[in-house]
Amino acid sequence: AQSVTQPDIHITVSEGASLELRCNYSYGATPYLFWYVQSPGQGLQLLLKYFSGDTLVQGIKGFEAEFKRSQSSFNLRKPSVHWSDAAEYFCAVGGYSSASKIIFGSGTRLSIRP
Amino acid sequence: NAGVTQTPKFRVLKTGQSMTLLCAQDMNHEYMYWYRQDPGMGLRLIHYSVGEGTTAKGEVPDGYNVSRLKKQNFLLGLESAAPSQTSVYFCASVVAPPKGGELFFGEGSRLTVL
């Protein structure tokens, strides 16, 4: 079955520190993967996506993610967080079949310590 | 340049009442999705459509019905609303998966069932 697990419900990091948000997926074929961010009271904004090719993907706002097929993971990273990065982050997985659906994880809430 | 538009943005219902949420997209996307967002549970897929005249069940379809009579519109119906359906509902559309592309989201519809 298609699924996404974000094991960390809430993470707090200090401003300027590095960040890694975990995402593990289950999908029986080649997946395509997304990270979205949602600021309080706002809609969802795409940070980055992986479809094929280079497994290290660069996104907006200085974020990157690495697709590791052997670990079924697509972790999001940022070398130095800013207070404005405080938000909720969602990982999502879809597939290339014509019947594919896109499934989201339960999200990780990121807080920034001044 | 509207993108994905959801109506209404807010609605309060009494238990047992019915209503329809409308999602309209002007990007000629094949795929459309309805999600609900609840605290701590991320976005859960209710129903989706891979093209005009087609619909399919997602993760949490019970209590909802959908229709896709026109390519640009995807309707979500609640025949007999229950308090458990209090949520924020998001519609999204995407170019067919084999072509890649990101989900474009509407701004959300906040539904309260009393």
Residue of A nearest to B31 (CA): A101
Which pLDDT band holds residue B99 (cuts at 50, 70, 90)? low
Pairs of CB atoms within 8 A across A/B: 61
B92 versus A101: which is more confidently predicted? B92
For A24-39, how does the pLDDT look when each residue is reduced to its tens digit (9 = 90+)? 999 888 788 999 999 9
**pLDDT above 60 (res B100):** yes
DSSP per residue, chain B = ---EEEE-SEEEE-TT--EEEEEEESS--SEEEEEEEETTTEEEEEEEESSTT--EE-SS-TT-EEE-SSTTEEEEEESS--GGG-EEEEEEEES-GGG----EE---EEEEE-
Please, which residues 62-101 of chain A have a Cβ atom closer than 8 Å to chain B?
90, 92, 94-101
**What local confidence, expressed as pLDDT, does residue B98 receive?**
55
Q: What whole-number distance in Å separates Cα of residue A60 and Cα of residue A47?
A: 5
Q: Which of A6, A43, A92 sits opposite B107 (nearest CB)?
A: A43
Cis peptide before B8 (omega within 30 of 0): yes
| Subunit contact B90:A43, Cβ cutoff 8 A | yes
Decide if A105 and B42 are in contact by the 8 Å CB cutoff: yes
Among the listed ranges A52-61, B9-18, B65-74, B90-99, which one has the minimum average pLDDT value?
Answer: B90-99
* Residue among B32, B103, B105 with most chain A CBs within 10 A, to mutate: B103
pLDDT at A31: 87
- The burial class, CB within 10 Å (0-12 / 13-18 / 19+), for A105 is buried
Q: Tell if the CB–CB gap between A94 and B107 is shorter than 8 Å.
A: no
Whole-angstrom distance, CA of residue A25 vs CA of residue A69: 10
Helix (H, G, I), strand (E, B) or coil at A85: helix
Residues of A in contact with B44 (CB under 8 A): 104
> Residue A56: enclosing H or E segment and its boundaries?
strand A56-58
Residue A39's closest CA among A86, A74, A83, A76? A86
Nearest-neighbour CA in chain A from B76: distance (Å): 17
For chain A, the farthest-separated pair of C-alpha atoms sits apart, in whole angstroms, at: 46
Average pLDDT over residues A92-102: 79
The average pLDDT across B78-101 equals 87
Average pLDDT, chain B: 93
Confidence of residue A99 (pLDDT cuts 50, 70, 90): low
pLDDT band for position B1 (50/70/90)?
Answer: low
Question: How far is residue B67 CA from its own chain's centroid?
Answer: 10
Q: What mean pLDDT value characterizes chain A?
A: 92
A106:B42 CB<8 A: yes
